[in-house]
Amino acid sequence: MTAADGGLGIVATQRAVLTENGPLVLASGAKLPHVEVAYETYGALNPARDNAVVVCHALTGDAHAAGWHEGARRPGWWDNLIGPGKALDTDRFFVIASNLLGGCSGTTGPSSLDPVTGRPYGPDFPLLDIADFVTAQRGLLDHLGVERLHAAVGGSLGGMQVLEWALQEPDRIDRAVVVAASARLTPENIAFSSVARAAILEDPDFHGGRYADHGVTPRHGMKIARMMAHITYVSEVSLEEKFGHRRDTAGSDKRLDADFEVEHYLQHQGTSFLERFDALSYLHLTRPMDYFDPFGAHPDVVPSTRFRLISFDTDWRFPTAHSLRIRDELAARGVAVEHTELASPWGHDSFLLQPPGYHEAIRSFLD
């Protein structure tokens, strides 16, 4: 698709160095002497510099939120939301999307070179907080000369970043859209992530995180982790509709290996994930979610930000109760907040799709 077809056309990822004036100090007190952030922008910053919108990605996303990379088979992960005339209208807004600190798509992370040792950080990369993701994003805004945001928008882990950011800088963001997110994970949430991490950590090829030194990757653990996580992103309704009880080899003998269509689907999801993600990044990006407690970390902060919370009725990863907790906590502090639960058959992944009323709700709130 080109810009003439109603999309953004070809876009490119850029990089910014955030540590030209000193190291990036993390919430733990650890310091990263050199930090680069991969980012993309869509639209143009207006003369008043007040039309910027930051998009925060979820766990396995990246800076490529919209448009097309040269030769790519698919557009950015939120291309249905971002572009000319879309809910995040790039004819009006200057949209900024960056890859998370600790990631593996151009931003400094465990696979990056440690300037002190000259080797990849590997398991020596410091543990992160969601506050650190936001610190890097704030640094990018400073680099771009954007002092204030018209809005910050994010789903799942992206929504958690938006919430943290509004509490860190209570007067910098005018509007916050938090979709299918949580302010504190339940034991069940933590349990699912723990199983996924255990699959990676206990893979014989993990080598204590030094797998690169051995010329291998913990492929089996990563595949299982992705298969496990993906189950929590979809709904029973969507799986039943897409696969039912159909077998790959109907009428043949029963067997122990994958047979049902849903099993092959998960196998595909796990295998394709291996080509685009790093095991240590997966560990470093999932663990901060378990410790996330922004209202406990910022007990007295009352942001001037207006909030729009959206949840989906089939999302069992972060069901509506999580959004209601955020709503009630913000309302108790006197913050302007609205919440809507939308009907969708697609479970947690609904935030990436276009169920009825979803993009319209974001558009009207940003207007």
Output the CA torsion sign for 157, 310, 52, 148: negative
Distances in whole angstroms, Cα of residue 75 to Cα of each of 10, 12, 152, 190, 351? 9, 12, 21, 31, 16
Q: Which of 79, 311, 315, 344 is catalytic?
A: 315
Q: Is residue 89 annotated as a catalytic residue, yes or no?
A: no
349 in a labelled binding site: yes
- Annotated binding residue at 129? no
Catalytic residue among 156, 182, 193, 311: 156
Give the residue among 34, 39, 1 at the shortest CA–CA distance from 17.
34
Q: Which of 64, 150, 348, 350 is catalytic?
A: 348
328 classed as catalytic: no
**What is the C-alpha to C-alpha distance for residues 319 and 310, in angstroms, rounded to an integer?**
10
97-108 exposure pattern, b = at least 16 Cβ within 10 A, e = fewer: bbbbbbbbbbbb
Cα(101)–Cα(137) distance, rounded to whole angstroms? 9
Phi-psi region of 164 (alpha: psi -120 to 50; beta: other; left: phi over 0): alpha
Q: Is 156 among the catalytic positions? A: yes
| Torsion 325-337-165-365 (CA) sign | positive
Indicate the annotated binding residues for substrate.
226, 349
Annotated binding site: 226, 349
Known catalytic residues?
Answer: 156, 315, 348
